Amino acid sequence: MTNNVKTGEDFRALLRSLIGRFEDPGTDVPELDDILLRWADSLPDRAPEPGWPGLADQLLGALNAPSAGPAEPAPLGGRRPVASSGELRALLRGLAADYARDRAWRVDRQARGQWAGDGGGWASASLTGFLESWEAWLGARLGRSAVLPGVQPIEPVTWASVARQLGAARVYE
């Protein structure tokens, strides 16, 4: 898949394309924590702000990278501000561990015959669901006034706004 992303709407179209790709029967869909770890492994310590094209390159690179395997389950912990690629890398690793913790919770509940719907920290239990949440959240936010009380803008796309997008996609339904 090539990166033709220049705008937020282009990025949403990329997410929709990826969702469609992973919904095809017979497609091997990686676990979200694996993708988050691949993404973290590909980020340099220092890099310029990504913009929409850089964010698309990072996501596509993570999807095409060799598997990093599952993350070790751990709670996300305290949120720290993200202002660099190195700090985003740390957040991605934390998100991967938190997703693995949430998955282990769901598997344990299901193994005991208990309902595992609501209750975890993640709105989506799959990579496809996460991409759908991310796309929907962007659809609700793009084009909105950047001056909303208490709401940080997502454009321009900075390391901090990527962190906000990922945090929102984690819980957005």
pLDDT at 118 (0 to 100): 63
The pLDDT profile of the chain, 173 residues, written as one tens digit per residue, is 678 999 999 999 999 999 999 998 888 999 999 999 999 999 988 899 999 999 999 999 999 999 999 999 998 877 788 999 999 999 999 999 999 998 887 777 777 777 666 666 888 889 999 999 999 999 999 977 655 566 778 899 999 999 999 999 999 98
Q: For residue 45, give Cα distances in angstroms to 88, 101, 121, 159.
A: 9, 26, 28, 12
pLDDT at 113 (0 to 100): 79
Residue of 147, 166, 172 whose CA lies nearest to 40: 166
